[in-house]
Amino acid sequence: MDFVVPHDHPCLPGHFPGRPVVPGVVVLDHVLQAVEAAHGPRAAMRLPQVKFVQPLLPGQTASVTLDGAGPRWRFRVQRADELLVSGELVAEAAP
Please indicate whether residue 39 is annotated as part of the active site: no
Q: Catalytic: which of 7, 15, 30, 39?
A: 15
Cis peptide before 16 (omega within 30 of 0): yes
Q: β-strands 72-79, 82-93: how paired? A: antiparallel
Strands (E), the chain: 2-4, 42-52, 61-67, 72-79, 82-93
Report whether 58 contacts 79 (CB < 8 A).
no
Task: Give the up-direction half-sphere exposure of residue 55: CA atoms within 13 A in the CB hemisphere.
Answer: 10
- Write out the catalytic residue numbers: 15
